[in-house]
Chain A
Amino acid sequence: MGTRAVILASLLVACLAQACDGNVLFSSLSRTLVVEASPTAGQVLKSGEDKIKVTWSFNGTYSGKDADYKTVKVKLCYAPVSQKDRGWRKTVDNLKKDKTCPHLIVARPYSSSAPNNSFEWTVTKDIPKATYFIRVYAINASANDVGYGQTTNKNKTTNLFEVDAITGRHTSLDIASVCFSAFSVLSLAGFFIGEKRRAKKSSPPHM
């Protein structure tokens, strides 16, 4: 009994120490924001063309207050299916090391009333092809995350949407690649043929 208490106490101290250290754990945050986004479940958005509208508001059922929320960061996050076998997108509880949400949509001063609690964003051309959800972090004056909200459930399985990225390929690049390659190979062939011809011309008749 006594040892369990000691262990729990030390865990608590460790968690608090982490929080004080600036290492906020995601599991310590409460879902204090309600976030809605325009993409429907399974919708495929084209990067560079389609838009996403995100709206956030304070969760009325939550007992705490939003007085210390200073800014919000709206982020585009990878769904588990796009994190599989991709260690650079890994979810880690320590938010400093977490790589789930690398794409910042917008950072805004916090406001829980319209029109400042929504944002329309065109999916930029550097967003890779993957499955996503949206998460909004609430940040206090000391730049620590103190709350969040997201468009999906706890296990990140519902209401996910996809982005169809640009390939980056252009017809001009395709043509240039083919032309340069053909030029290289053909010049080599031309060189060999030229050498053979020159050798035939210059070699004196042999017995």
Chain B
Amino acid sequence: MEIEPPESVVPPPAKFALPVDSEHMATEFRFFSIAKPHMSAFHLSWVSFFTCFVSSFAAPPLIPIIRDDLNLTATDIGNAGIASVSGAVFARLALGAACDVFGPRLASSSLIILTAPAVYFTSIASSPVSFLLVRFFAGFSLATFVSSQFWTSCMFSANLVGTANGLSGGWGNLGGGATQLIMPFVFSVIRDIGAVKFTAWRIAFFIPALLQTVTAFAVLLCGQDLPDGNLQRLHKEGDKPKEDFSKVFYHGISNYRGWILALTYGYCFGVELTVDNIIAEYFYDRFDLKLSTAGIIAATFGLANLFSRPLGGVLSDVVAKRFGMRGRLWTLWTVQTIGGILCVILGRMGSLGASVAVIVAFSIFCQAASGLTYSVVPFVSRRSLGVISGMTGGGGNVGAVVTQLIFFKGSRYSKERGITLMGIMIICCTLPICLIYFPQWGGMLCGPSSNKSFAEEDYYLSEWSSLEKDIGFHHESMKFASNSRSERGKRSVISTTGAASISPSIQV
């Protein structure tokens, strides 16, 4: 008589609207559903991230008005742009850890509400210094990217996680493009009602700020951390062990794969942030376009996220079906390198039509690479998923800061030369993907470990001490390990019950 694992002795599992795996993560994706907990989490995560992107990049389309009101110099504007993305470097890492400990619902809604005042106070900024400060603090909200990825990684099964992450990340990123259309429109409506220019832009900032407040409340009131319930309740009922922050943090930062992904993400997503900041000006100056035309081209770069980032995630999941994790890594390297080549070409294009064509292609590859990166992130660590997500996300912002500092500050390089050099840097900084190696699945250049008995369980359980395993803290990681067996690709034999028929190392 088989003794059943303890999980089935607890109260019968809740009925889910979507088919789920053993961890109750959804194995199917339904766009138009808002069923709790999976699809509601998905929609809340991308909408909250979208509003944060709108707020963080609400200033750039209105800079021509703001720079006259606050008497800004080009240096002030450049510094504020760098400040807007640098706050999130550490905020992303901190939020990642907070998600591991407190759950994505509380962590993200708290951050969003606490950064809303920065957006409200943008309305009363009166000097270059105050402008820089509000952009800096509002930029912290970009950390909600991490919570949105964490949340969808908790809700969707391994075979879908690339798609789910790509969709929530991509549709959130859309905010960067949407804001280039929303803010000028809101500004012109307010001005036409009768406000003077220098007051109209201030009133306009209440819109993104209010949106932020409302979505934060929606997340708090309607969201649920995990398929089985909210983290606090699960902690109390003993269904989920309370996490030790220092252990979670340690296991995250000691995993070298997290650092490599942080670097490479800086050269897909970081490049995307940089381009968001400079591209309207580039087209305006180089091709003598009207500001509104340059703004539309800038918006299309961000709006491509609607499909290009999810495309990366979908591509990753499709490739993984046949080639597993090795396929994901090869696809990531290929797509990001092509993005780098297109960036080099963009800087050398002299005609408007060719430039627009290249930038559209560049946006697709650059954003798909971001989606591909976050289809690999959920597998790097199970215990420290939040910290790894945060590190990678933070690395993205570091890439944006570094790239803007080297190539786009001051007049050392013309913008077109800066863009070409940025492309070369993308190609070089994508190479380290070759170094990522999972013993149970392999890496780009090597197959899985010749030690046939090393399995997914060994990799994920290495994050728990034997003491913790004795108490039973590791069961969730075990379930994940078993569900992640699909990362071996077609050559693996996946049993339909999900039980480990291959690995003998399961302990009950």
Chain A interface (Cβ within 8 Å of chain B)? 84-88, 97, 125-126, 128-130, 165-170, 173-174, 176-178, 180-181, 183-185, 187-188, 191, 195, 199, 203
Q: Is B123 an interface residue (CB 8 A)?
A: yes
Q: Which residue of B lies closest to A189 (CB)?
A: B113
Measured between beta carbons, the chain A residues less than 8 angstroms from B73 are 84-86
Q: Is B114's CB under 8 angstroms from A185's CB?
A: yes
Which stretch of B50-58, B197-205, B448-456 is in the interface?
A: B197-205
Minimum Cβ distance to chain B for residue A110 (Å): 29
Q: Report the separation of the CA atoms of residues A195 and B221 in the bound assembly, to the nearest whole angstrom.
A: 11
Query: Scoring B residues 33 to 71 as 1 if CB is less than 8 Å from chain A, else 0, what string do you get?
Result: 000000000000000000000000000000010011101
Q: Is B64's CB under 8 angstroms from A88's CB?
A: yes
Do A85 and B75 form a contact, CB below 8 Å, given A169-B124, A188-B113? yes
Q: Is A181's CB under 8 angstroms from B126's CB?
A: no
Query: Scoring B residues 199 to 224 as 1 if CB is less than 8 Å from chain A, else 0, what string do you get?
Result: 11111001001100100110010000
Q: Report the separation of the CA atoms of residues A165 and B197 in the bound assembly, to the nearest whole angstrom.
A: 12
Q: Is B121 an interface residue (CB 8 A)?
A: yes
Do A88 and B67 form a contact, CB below 8 Å, given A173-B202, A173-B203, A184-B213? yes
Q: Is B188 an interface residue (CB 8 A)?
A: no
Instruction: Give the residue among A97, A178, A180 with the most B Cβ atoms within 10 A.
Output: A180
How many residue pairs link A and B with beta carbons under 8 A? The number is 90
Minimum Cβ distance to chain B for residue A164 (Å): 11
Q: Is B202's CB under 8 angstroms from A128's CB?
A: no
Besides A126-B198, A173-B199, 19 other CB < 8 A contacts? A87-B74, A88-B64, A97-B288, A128-B68, A165-B69, A166-B196, A167-B69, A169-B199, A173-B202, A174-B124, A177-B120, A180-B213, A181-B117, A181-B120, A184-B117, A184-B213, A185-B114, A187-B113, A199-B232
Q: Report the separation of the CA atoms of residues A176 and B120 in the bound assembly, to the nearest whole angstrom.
A: 8
Q: Report the separation of the CA atoms of residues A195 and B116 in the bound assembly, to the nearest whole angstrom.
A: 22
Q: Is B255 an interface residue (CB 8 A)?
A: no
Do A86 and B213 form a contact, CB below 8 Å, given A126-B198, A168-B198, A191-B220? no
Q: Contact check: which of B110, B196, B197, B199 meets A188 at CB < 8 Å? A: B110
Q: Is A173's CB under 8 angstroms from B126's CB?
A: no
Q: Contact check: which of A169, A187, A203 meets B202 at CB < 8 Å? A: A169
Q: Report the separation of the CA atoms of residues A191 and B206 in the bound assembly, to the nearest whole angstrom.
A: 23
Q: Is B123's CB under 8 angstroms from A173's CB?
A: yes
A-B contact pairs, 15 of them (CB 8 A): A85-B74, A86-B67, A125-B198, A128-B68, A167-B126, A168-B201, A169-B126, A176-B206, A184-B113, A185-B113, A187-B217, A188-B220, A195-B232, A199-B232, A199-B236
